[in-house]
Amino acid sequence: MDCRLVVNSLSNYLDGSLLEAEVRLLEIHLAECPPCNIVRLELAEIRSAARELPLHTPQRALWKRIQLSIEVGESQQGKGREAIEQPGRWSRLMSRHFTFTLPQLAGAGALVLALVGFSLFNLSRHAGQPLNIQGGTGPSLIQAKAAMLPGEPEMREDIERRMSILNARKAAWDPPMREVFDSHLGKIDESLNHCRRNLLANPADQDHQQMVMALYEEKLRLLEDFDKLK
């Protein structure tokens, strides 16, 4: 048997994973080859010494570190959970998409055209008077109060209540957070104004009625989400 082959099989031999025939051949070789036998003895020594290695002891301060880490972890668990949830809400807000049905989309298309015409008309009549799209109290919405949809007053009341709470907190928000909030709110209010104007022209338009209520719900969800962010 070749010495190289024998040495390469020594670990398997020591671990008892060779076949009987292989063991016999190997032992014959070992009996006749002192160098290979020395390797066997040395590997066997390493193998048995490894089982008796002493245990090491870490620094005594390690327990204090662990204790502190657990205490900090426990106290921050609530905060941590919130922090984990916050990016979720945040990313949800960042990635929020407005989903509309086909009739609503068709209505929206018509609305854009109507809006352009209406805007031009309005601008020519009220030159220099800006449209208020943030507060929901612009001229078009004031006019719209005359034709409130079912459930709309309650929805608006709820929105106004939440808005006043959030407005009080808004100053403490990070600028990017304010920017996202304003941007989303702006889009919703803009769409609301468009729908409202369209409903003024055609109060029986069910698509726009649905859109108005859907937009109020969207606005409410936005306010709720930001309210949860604290």
Partner 1 sequence: MSVMLAGEQANNVTVEATNVTASDYELAQAAARGDMEAFEALYERHHRRVYSLCLRMVANVTEAEDLTQEVFVQLFRKIGSFRGESAFTTWLHRLTVNQVLMHFRKRGVRLEQTTEEGEMQDVVQVGSERPHSMPVIDRIALDKAIAQLPPGYRAVFVLHDVEGHEHEEVAEILGVSVGTSKSQLHKARMKLRELLNKKL
Q: Name the residues that contact partner 1, by CB under 8 A.
A: 3-4, 6-8, 10-12, 15, 17, 34-39, 41-43, 45-47, 49-59, 62-63, 65-67, 69-70, 73
Q: Give the CA count within 13 Å in the CB-facing half-sphere of 173.
A: 18
Q: Which is nearer to partner 1, 69 or 167 (CB)?
A: 69
Q: Which is nearer to partner 1, 31 or 112 (CB)?
A: 31
End-to-end CA distance of the chain: 78
Q: Which is nearer to partner 1, 45 or 154 (CB)?
A: 45
CB of 91: closest distance to partner 1 in angstroms?
A: 25
CB of 16: closest distance to partner 1 in angstroms?
A: 11
CB of 73: closest distance to partner 1 in angstroms?
A: 7
Identity at 158, one-letter amino acid code: D
Q: Which is nearer to partner 1, 27 or 158 (CB)?
A: 27
10 Å Cβ neighbour count for 22? 14
CB of 86: closest distance to partner 1 in angstroms?
A: 21
- Where helices occur in the chain by DSSP H, the ranges are 3-14, 20-32, 34-50, 61-94, 102-125, 139-144, 152-170, 175-201, 206-229
226 near 181, Cβ under 8 Å?
A: yes
